[in-house]
Structure formats: C-alpha cells, structure tokens
Amino acid sequence: IIISLIIGGSGGIYFVKKSIQKNKNSGMQIIGGQTVINNYGIGDPLLERQQRVENPVKEESLDSAIEKARSALGLTGTNVKFLSDNLQEVYKKAGLSKTASTMINGAIFALSSWYTKENPEWREHCSGSLRGLVDKWRDAGAISTAFCGTFNNKDSNCPNLKTHANQYKQLIDSFNYFSDIHHHDAVNILVKIRVLKGQNTKTGSDTNELFVEIAKEYLEILINLLTEATKQNEST
C-alpha cells in the first residue's frame, strides 16, 4: 500500500511516503523505500541504508536537488557557515538551545523536495525552518537589539533601526509571510505578499518561484546584517 502521511511531533513535521508491508509472524509493520524526512533534514539511518541499496538513482537525484536548492537560496558552504556560526552566537547570548545550522540545512532540504516532487508540503516545512531563525524576537527592534547586543555594546555603531530600517522591516515582513505558510493560513498569505511586493500583487501570485525569491532575499538580509554587526565588533 502506498501512503502519504503527515505526522506532527516535538521533532518537527514529518512527511512519509512509504510502502507498508505487514510481517505475518510478528505483526510488525516494515517501512521500505525512501528515507523518513522532516523539516530539519533528519532521516532514519536504517531506512537510509536500505534506500541506498534499493534506490541508488533516487539518492543521486536527492543530492542534485539539494545542490539546486542551496543555489536557489543564494547559499554556499562559506555563507552557510558564516550565518550558522553568528546566529549561534546570538542564540547563545539569548540563552536559546536551538541550533542555527540545523534550521538552515532543514530549509535547504525541504526546498529540495520541490525538485524531487517527494513532499507536497515542502513550502510549509521550509517556512518553519526559515522563520525559526528569528522567531524568538518577532519584531524589528528586538532583532536589532539582539544582534547589536551580541556583537557590539555600542548600539549606535551597529546596524540598527535608524541605519538599516528597510532591511529590518523586510526581514519581519518575510517572517510573517513564512509564518502564514507554515501555519496554513491561506487567507493572509496574499496580504503578506502585498506587503512585501506591492499592493498591486494579484490573487494567484503566490507561486513557488516567488516563495524562493522571498526566501533568498530573507537570507541575504540576515547575512548582510550579521556581516555589518560582526565588522563593528571586530573594529572595537
């Protein structure tokens, strides 16, 4: 039996597309085929090993899709490390236990499903990872304070709401857009797009291409703000 199932839990939201067989002797259900994935890109190692044996072409396709997703988001090994390391410093300062690299790689992994066609909820999962990068603060002033408080004690020398108002606004507007997608709030998604892209945006404009464009710009802003913040820190 081929099934598609969405499972929610403390570890994230899972998409499972599996072939289920029942063992007559033990009554155990054996899940075969592809890897169980969630929005953090974590799989079951036993199932991954089985997949490599049964579907070697599928794994190569996944590797290619992940590279396409990383490129579409404007990410490289270098800027992923920069973003991960510096956001982690912000989290540490705030006393948060979350891991930036897990969420960034989770967003890349979720987006890869657009290319593999494996997960129809890839946008919801990608949005969850992207919004999670700053969901502790949720407004521009709080993010600015968190960044400046982590990398520079003199807020006047750090990218703040006076010097980088437009970037912080776009960051929060994008966060709100991702939140609506993540929470399946179809009514308000277009409202958020119009905030980001203009009031003349028409119904039906919420395409996958536009989602990736907004996600790429969101990550670029985070990288730019953190680049400015860490430069100020180095100069003091």
- Position 77 in a domain: yes
Structure confidence at residue 233 as a pLDDT band (50, 70, 90): low
Residue 108: predicted pLDDT:
98
Contact 109, 15 (CB under 8 A): no
Domain total for the chain?
A: 1
Domain that holds residue 62: 56-235
- Position 147 in a domain: yes
Is the model's pLDDT at 17 over the cut of 90? no
How many C-alpha atoms does 168 have within 13 Å on its Cβ side? 21
Residue 35: predicted pLDDT:
37
Identity (one letter) of the amino acid at 104? I
DSSP string, 56-84: HHHHHHHHHHHHHHHHHTT--HHHHHHHH
Contact 13, 30 (CB under 8 A): no
Structure confidence at residue 182 as a pLDDT band (50, 70, 90): very high
Q: Which among 201, 36, 41, 188 has a CA at the least distance from the CA of 128?
A: 41
Q: Which residue has the higher pLDDT, 73 or 2?
A: 73
Residue 26: predicted pLDDT:
39
- Position 194 in a domain: yes
Q: Which among 216, 212, 225 has a CA at the least distance from the CA of 87?
A: 225
Residue 153: predicted pLDDT:
57
Structure confidence at residue 205 as a pLDDT band (50, 70, 90): confident
The pLDDT > 70 percentage for the chain reads 71
- Position 128 in a domain: yes
- Position 89 in a domain: yes
Residue 236: predicted pLDDT:
52
> What backbone phi and psi angles, to 5 degrees, belong to 20?
-105, 125
Give the pLDDT mean for 155-184.
Answer: 92
- Position 28 in a domain: no
Residue 200: predicted pLDDT:
82
- Position 175 in a domain: yes
Give the pLDDT mean for 96-101.
Answer: 97
Tokens for 197? 């892209």
- Position 33 in a domain: no
> What backbone phi and psi angles, to 5 degrees, belong to 113?
-70, -20
Residue 224: predicted pLDDT:
97
Q: Which residue has the higher pLDDT, 187 or 134?
A: 134
